Chain A
Amino acid sequence: MPQHPIELILFRQLATSLVVPVFLVDARGDLVFLNEPAEVLLGIRLDELDSLPFETWTAAFQPRSAEGVAEPASSLPLVRALTDRRPTHGPLVITGRNGQEHTIEITAFPLEGGRGRLIGAVAMFWEQGPE
């Protein structure tokens, strides 16, 4: 595997220090890292995955609206951040691999390096408590 850009390397290091769940994808949208809080939330372990390509993760957690309507991949905040190259924020309901349902808000933003090169994107998950 070729070396990741240093922006991803450094963001990954930052993510390991945060308590907020962080999901990091490369420029193609493939998962390259998630921190331990994200592993707990999503019910997966990074070490147990060979890879988590874009086509898999965008459907894996059954993303849907609060009304239960399935969200297409193109409307997910992280995908919009990557494709529109703009920060996005929105609510979502997901089901972790362990079957646990979570109501979350997602803040996602693109990572751009020198000369405007798209490096990848970051999603942070904010779990919503009971109203």
Chain B
Amino acid sequence: MNDSPAAAIEFVNVTYRISGNRTLISDLNLSVRRGETLMLLGRSGSGKTTTLKLINRLVSQSEGKVLVDGRSTTDWDVIQLRRHIGYAIQEAGLFPHYTVEENVALVPRLERWDAERVTARVREVLQLVGLPYDEYARRYPDQLSGGQRQRVGLARALAADPEILLMDEPFGALDPITRAELQHEFLELRKTLSKTIVFVTHDVAEALMLGDRIALIDSGKLKGIFAPGEFLRSPDESVQPYVNAFRATQQILNSGA
């Protein structure tokens, strides 16, 4: 994909309204660089998940354009678009009637890879997320812990080797220790895979730790895009509450030490 445009994903004047004329996203302009991890940070109901879903057309914008690899998502065949983009969500959304292997193999199978290649790939991605194939491939989702399910969700999203990965609070439902573990592994993983990642979170610390850049979204509007360092120093009044909350936590921790 050397001839592809610099932006992997681009929002051009995107507005999304639902019935009753409620505007969830208004006039969004945002460009996601190829290979970066962009965090969409915002409070509950700010429109960050909706923004994510506009990328793989789980929802369709009312106005404006969303470009994926330089092509408007409305010009893509929607099935092709979605198979081209990995998607990992909170609670993983694993298929309970499929084994770990069947879950991970789904998109490669739909894409008609041959059986050997599918098995090899399942082995590879399970290894990548720290679940040895021989131990986990035959298990069902309800035989896994929350953290393991989330790993399988990530493996499934990576299975067809998509260049773009969308993650919607993937670590949101995990206990703090497992979450920290997965966050660190995510950072390691990101180094080895050159993916464009859009990651939704409401957790400032997570955004600062995992993101190359942070896009702050509030009430359906983009308030700015910051590198983690800039974010902490920003005088912007919409950034302040987040930074204050983050600092307050740190202070409590420091004073306790």
Does A associate with B in a complex? no
Tell me the B residues contacting A by CB distance below 8 Å. none
Tell me the A residues contacting B by CB distance below 8 Å. none
